[in-house]
Amino acid sequence: MNRTSAQNVQTAETATTQFKMRPPSLRGRRLVLIDIENISGGAIRTLAEARWVQRMLDSTLGLRHQEQVIIGVSKAGAIHAGPVWTSARMVVGTGINGADLALLDVLNNENIADRFDEVVLVSGDGIFTETVATLGGHGVKVTVVAHRTSLAKRLQMAASQTVTFTPHQINLEGAA
């Protein structure tokens, strides 16, 4: 067996061992991370836009009440997203990639691979590629949900699976 094959076998064994070592109460858990502005097509400017995103994701993902949902959002968008997503944790960022960086901070610093078997990332941004690949390497199933037209190819390849929205599922509720 060559070195690469041995490494692949060791990685698979390590992932299996980690699953077995996880307490039963932590098995089968799914974490949902949402880059809300990526799905809405821009800043969340109204409660109606936040509700639209919630309906879209609920119908696509079948969100369960007991799941942990974390939403990356700008300061301005948090005002409208907060009242709609009452049971979700908001991580607020500023600047052009603020919400992305806030979500990456969660993914990289909160022992996600030790606590969850599946991560659903609602964003098509390529900034998440390396972290998604790392989680997959630790045996975490990562599903990426994004608009077909804004899904980075590298992110799609790093994910365990992808779900895309169709063109007719576009947010018109915030349109003036």
> Quick one: which of 138, 144, 148, 98 has its CA closest to 119?
144
* Domains, the chain: 23-165 (3.40.50.1010)
pLDDT tens digit at each of 176 positions of the chain = 444 434 444 444 444 445 446 555 556 799 999 999 988 888 899 999 999 999 988 888 888 777 899 999 999 899 999 999 999 999 999 988 999 999 999 999 999 999 999 999 999 999 999 999 999 999 999 999 999 999 999 999 999 999 998 655 555 444 44
Partners of residue 165 on adjacent β-strands: 147
Phi-psi region of 42 (alpha: psi -120 to 50; beta: other; left: phi over 0): left
Partners of residue 163 on adjacent β-strands: 145
> CA–CA separation, 117 vs 105, rounded Å?
19
- CB contact set of 120 (below 8 Å; sequence gap of 6+): 30, 31, 32, 33, 61, 142, 143, 144, 145
